[in-house]
Each structure stands twice: as C-alpha cells, then as structure tokens.
Structure 1
Amino acid sequence: MRKGKKIILITMFISIFISIILSFLATEKWSAYSIITKPSISNYRNLYKSVNLIENISGHKIKSLEGINSSNLIFERFIQEYNSSDTKFDFITKNKKLLSQYEGEDNFHKYKEISDSIRLDKVEKRNEFNLSFQAKTADLSYDILDDYIKFVEDKVNKDINENLALIIQSQKDIYKNRILTLNTIANNKIKRDIEKAEISLDIAKKAQQNEPVKDTYNTSSNEFDFIYGERILKSKLDILMSNRDKLKNINSTDLINTKLKLNQLNNISISELNTQPFKFLQKPLKPEQKIFPNKKNFVFFGAFIGFIIGFLIVMVRLTFSEIRN
C-alpha cells in the first residue's frame, strides 16, 4: 500500500514538473477588450445636421436619405464591417506592426490566426458588444485592438461620406437640369417680348406714330403695343436687348430659388462629418494579466493527470500481482 502511494506521489511530482516547464514554454496570450453600444446623436451630430439640411433645401423627404442617419443602421454597419473577413484581411495586410510579429509563418495560417483573434461578442439581452484582440504581448493586444477599431470606424465613415456625396451630387444634378429648363423658358419669353417689341416698333414707324395715342395706355388685351409710339417702343426694345440676364431672374422666381438651393448644396462640407458609428461604454484597455498560460491551472491539471497515471500504474501492478498469486 505504501509502495502504491509512493508511485502515485512520484507520478504527480513528475507531471507537475512537466506542467511547470510547459507553462514556461507555452506562447503567452494577452487579451485587450473594449465595450461599445449604438451611438447617440452627439456621436454623429454633423451627419444628422447635413441630412436634415439637404431635406430642408429640397423641401421634401428624399428616399435615398432614409435611414442614413439612423443610429441603429449606423451601428449595424460598424458591426458588419468589424466582423467582415475582407475588412480584417485589408487591416492585416496594412498593419506592419502586426505582421512583424508573425514573420516566418505561412500566409494562410498567419491571416487565419490573426483574424480569429479579432473577436466581437454580443452581451446577452443588451445592445452591447465586447470587442477584443488576443496577442503575444499586452502592448500588442492593446495597440492592435485600438488600431482596428479606428480602421473600421474610418471605413464606415468613408462609406457614409461617399454615399452622402453621391446623394448630394444627384440633388445638384436635379437643380442644374431645372436651371437649364428655367433658363430656356426665360430666354424664350424674353425672345418673344423682343420680337413683339420689334414688330410693334415697325408698325408704329409705318403708321408714323412717334408718340403714344392719347388715353390708350391699357394695352394688356392687345397683341402688339404699337399705340405706345415709336419713341417709347425704341426705349423698351433697348432695355430688353441690354438687360436679358437681369430680366430672366425678374421673370422667374423659380429660377432664383433653384439657383439658391444649388448654391446651398455646394456649401455643404462632407469632409467635416467625422461620424463615430458607436459609443464607447469602455474604451480599449491594456490587459494587466495574461489569459494563457495560467500557471495555477497548469499545476492543478498536472497534479490531477499525475494522480490518474499513478493510480492506473498501481492498479495494473495489483492486477498482475493477483494474477501471479
């Protein structure tokens, strides 16, 4: 019996010793983490103002703008990009600090290991997410997590800005086409007024009507204004010919308003948006303790495995001893 206990103790000590050695040889893992939730309006105030400004300029809801400044959709876009394999691959290939830690490894396993280390876990029953990254050192895990969050944030910002720029450009095109149409209408009206004045002047000349006919200033129902006389008609024609551009605006309030709206759209600055597509509940933290290897766990499991092995050896010895007897 004593011999059996001795065997078990020896195997336990050997197993513990091996476990301690393995715990020192094992690659360390440190995990930095952060907690985020959907953004509040303060996180995307400039985007919210820009969307409202565009709709106020147009005077109606624009279908392509629906939801672009929704906190839920902005947050979903960030979560999707954070989890995207393409985004992770793009980040890994551009981050020299990260790649330098995995020199000598083949690309497939290198990218897979790094990609799997970038984690996003939903907090149960809350609209919160834990973001984390595991690396060989505490500094690297913190730096890469912080870099990756900023990388995804910039990508989402770029997508939002590009979409908004396209929408603004489409609105500008609508107003530019409207201005062309209104200019054509205004030019045609001025052209008709000039032609009418020329014909009226020609009639007045032939009728030798130099001065207006007395008490006949109301000519709103007449086709031509020859009764104003040659002198007044010449002045009218000169005014029409020399003030074409001014008369276009005077004759078309719609043209003035459309030009004003186009000018307002030109003054919207997309580069100043800087949307934050999430809100930090906990900014990235540098880990204080490594998650692997845990030396206490190694010793515990080493002792347990040593006990099992020692116990099996004792049982086998007893079995063979009984068979011999």
Structure 2
Amino acid sequence: MGTPTGALWREHLRELVVMGEPTRVLDIGSGPVVACCSGVASVLWDWAPVVELLRGEHRVIVLDRPGYAPGQQVSETLPTLDTEAARLLAVLTALGATGPVTAVGHSFGAAVVEAAARLHPGRLGSLVFLDGSVPEAEGADWAHDGARAAGRFRHGTHPAVRSTSVRVLWQLVGPAVSVALVPGRRGVARAMGGLRAEGSSSNTLLASLRDLAGYVACMNRLRELRGRMPLESGVPLTVVAANGRVPRPGLSRWARHVLAQAARLAQETSVRRVVVSRSGHFVMLDQPRRTAELIAEAAR
C-alpha cells in the first residue's frame, strides 16, 4: 500500500444509521460484492491489505459494529447474534448490494456471517470463515446467565472504562497495546496515517469489552441455530484455519478445532478447508495475499 491509500479509503468511508445506530462502512471498488465482517476488538482498518488486493475487480464492503468508530457512543446493551446478522444484511440493503454476496467473517465475524446465512436464506451467495469462532472450544455454556453478564457490564465495566482516569491511561497506551496484540497493524498504520487517534480512543476499548461480555451468549445461540436452521446446500463455504506464525510440523490445537468444525459443517453444504501457515489469528493481516486469493476464488 502506498501513501495515497489512506486518503483514498477515507473518500469511500460512510456512516450509515442502521437499525437505529450509526455504523461506519467502507464501500470501495467495483465488481462482484464482497462483504467483510470483523471480530471482537477489530475494526475495518484491519482489512486494508486485503481490500487493496481485491478492490480492482470487486466491490468490497467492510463494516464496523456500532461503537468502534471514534466519537460513537457505546451502547450498554450486549450484542446478540441475531441482531448482528440482521445488521450485516441491513448494511448491504442500504448500499444496494442485494444480489449474490460473498460474505467473509473473521473470528466472531464468522459467527455473524453464519447466523445471517442460517436466519436469512437466499441473501448470501458464498461464505468465507477466517479463523472463525468455535463454540465448543471457547466458552459456549448452556448455563451461562446472559442477563447477569449484561448487568455486570452495565453497572461495572461501562462506568469504569468511561472514567477520566481510564480514558487518559488508554490514550497513552492504547495504540501500543493494539499493535502489540496484532503486529500486522503496524504496517497498516504507516500506510493509512491518522490511526493513532483511533487506537487511543477509549470507546474502542469499551466496545471490545462489551462484545466480550456478550460472547458466550452469542456462542450458545450459534450452537442453537446449527441444530435448528441448516445452511443452504447450494451456498459454498471456505473455512480457513491459521496454524500459527511459527512453522510447525503438524497442526496446532486451535487449527484442529477449526477443521473439526468445518467437517461438521460439511454435512450441510460443500466446504473447502484451507490451512494457512505462518499466520496468527488475524489472517487478513498476516497473510493478505493468500487471504485475498481465497476470497476471490469464493466470489467466483
């Protein structure tokens, strides 16, 4: 990515009011539509390298969930999988992207895309899960009390993070923490410019904590949908498993979980399973060229 990339992207940024909440959206390029949905603690800038590779032949739409963009208010209401799935499709409708869409979800975003495909058949043409959430491996629990989790966030976490002391501290350490957790963001920040201010915004931290507070309930809902509402057999799925940044002779434990989930989903529709080496969880940043190739193949 060259220096002009940041200015070009900002020309294609919009804020839509979707389902009563402001939603920041990137809409760039032309051709078959690719919609990208981020995971927890991830924003649309994380897709920059992949978007640059795709936008010449595809119309790429990337959305942030409400609260992640600077200046937005973070709702005290925890996310639900049904709402996030409906939001994804509402954004596509608002942008006139009503034809066959290739929906790409990273991490929790993969759960959102899957829920959209199950709850609203006929809206999505193909699916790509980038190191998607695996309910059985990371915290799904039928005994989870969603109301109690919402109460803890509303009465404890939300006021604490909005305090002056936390906001000042996060302004100092937020950008460094963001890059330390996801090293691939360093190159994006250099190319895009102006991202330090976003990384230092405490609402990004608060929105991430809100999503984490609602995560288990969302995983429970995903398991419920899998048991009640099958995927359309004609909607192909590509499942990508990251095998870690350090080369290894076999598969990591996490990659095995992702592939085992793919095998279960293959009982509903055609599934292509791909293992990406030398990549951490943020596949689109660690291996953007391979990720773009897989998305383009799915879009065809």
- Output the TM-score relative to the length of structure 2: 0.20
Q: Which has the higher contact order (CA 8 A, sep 6+)?
A: 1
- Output the TM-score relative to the length of structure 1: 0.18
Query: More helix per residue: 1 or 2?
Result: 1
Larger radius of gyration: 1
